[in-house]
Amino acid sequence: MKFRNGRLVAVAAVALTASLGLAACGSDSSGSSGGDSSKASITFMPKNLGNPYFDASDSGGKKAVEELGGTYDEVGPDTATPDGQVSFINTAAQQGVGAIVISADDPKAPCSALQQAMSAGTKVVTFDSDTGPSCRDLFINQASAEGIAKTQVDLIAKEIGDSGEIAILSAAANATNQNAWIDLMKKDLADHPKIKLVDTVYGNDDDQTSFDKTAALLSDHPNLKGIISPTTVGIAAAARYLDTSSSKGKVALTGLGTPNQMRKYVKDGTVTSFALWNPSDLGYLAAYAADALIKGDITGKEGDTFKAGDLGQYKVGADGEVLLGDPYVFDKSNIDKFKF
């Protein structure tokens, strides 16, 4: 009795093995890409897959890797959780890829995995969201605070003819980056003596609050000629209000927004132009930086320079940061090229 069962177990084991082997074979054909370390293999790791913003940045990276003749790969978790990228980082290190280009889900959680990958010889470039400087070779910074502030002031100045009352619609009153930008904008406005900043209101990055604050701004300041909203939620809500109000076309609106949110308002003339960085340029630059690291052209120390294809020459700043440049300005002529 026992032996018969034993034999059955053995048969079952063989069947299980066979089924697993078949499953593994099936998977074999679909995707074996990593591993060839003789060429520059660069793995992009977005915060999560299926995010239009990262689709745009990674397509820029893919273009660069193809120009360089390397191997491009994109892996990542389905949802952005703090440690969701760790297993992908470990796998990339095992595959011996030349470089990981990652937008970190968490500044700390993937850190030790990235350090292990670096000690295994893989270069690490962060973009969009940085980790600490000790966990990567380079950080590709999308825009500096000075650049963000200056671009928005320049845009509004151009649209209102460099004179008149303007207001700022910000996010939360204690948002660090918002306040830093607002302070820098005030400094830049000193160069535009005829522009007067009459009010700063806070929409808390909430659509309805931002909408209501825009309405209040327009009734409180009948001579208002322009609004700057350096937050994607704020600018979209303000545009929605302006679109239906009598002020449409009379009050200029600009700020930081995404093409998908703003497309309609740019096309119907509510908004002339707004700014953000170009994510595909960001991915493109990150790929070139990774390639320069792999080839040993640069080590990531301050003062290193490298050429990034069409974008030109770049220089590594303090803490291994590379600045993409001034924000990208979106208007009617180019907005349809962007799908994020």
Binding interface with other proteins (CB under 8 A): 1-10, 12-13, 16-17, 19-21, 23-24, 27-28, 30-35, 73, 75, 77-78, 82-83, 86-88, 90-91, 93-96, 106, 108-109, 111-113, 116, 120
Beta strand 41-45 with 71-74: parallel, antiparallel or unpaired? parallel
Complex with other proteins: residue 20 or 145, whichever CB lies closer: 20
Name the region of 141 (left: φ>0; alpha: ψ -120 to 50; beta: rest): beta
Report the nearest approach of other proteins to the CB of residue 108 (Å).
Answer: 4
Report the nearest approach of other proteins to the CB of residue 118 (Å).
Answer: 13
Report the nearest approach of other proteins to the CB of residue 234 (Å).
Answer: 25
Complex with other proteins: residue 109 or 182, whichever CB lies closer: 109
Complex with other proteins: residue 14 or 173, whichever CB lies closer: 14
Q: Are 104 and 90 in contact (CB under 8 A)?
A: no
Report the nearest approach of other proteins to the CB of residue 168 (Å).
Answer: 30
What is the phi/psi pair of residue 308, to 5°? -115, 70
Q: Are 159 and 227 in contact (CB under 8 A)?
A: no
Q: Around Cβ 237, how many Cβ atoms within 10 Å?
A: 25
Report the nearest approach of other proteins to the CB of residue 39 (Å).
Answer: 14
Report the nearest approach of other proteins to the CB of residue 7 (Å).
Answer: 7
Complex with other proteins: residue 87 or 305, whichever CB lies closer: 87
HSE, side-chain direction, 13 A CA sphere, residue 80? 15
CA 230 to chain centre: 16
What CA–CA distance (Å, rounded) separates 303 from 246?
53
Report the nearest approach of other proteins to the CB of residue 210 (Å).
Answer: 25
Coil, strand or helix: which one is 272?
Answer: coil
Complex with other proteins: residue 16 or 216, whichever CB lies closer: 16
Complex with other proteins: residue 6 or 269, whichever CB lies closer: 6
Structure tokens at 258: 């995404």
Complex with other proteins: residue 91 or 200, whichever CB lies closer: 91
Task: Please enumerate in sequence order all residues whose Cβ is within 8 A of that of 74, keeping only pairs 6 or more positions apart, or say none.
Answer: 43, 44, 45, 46, 49, 58, 62
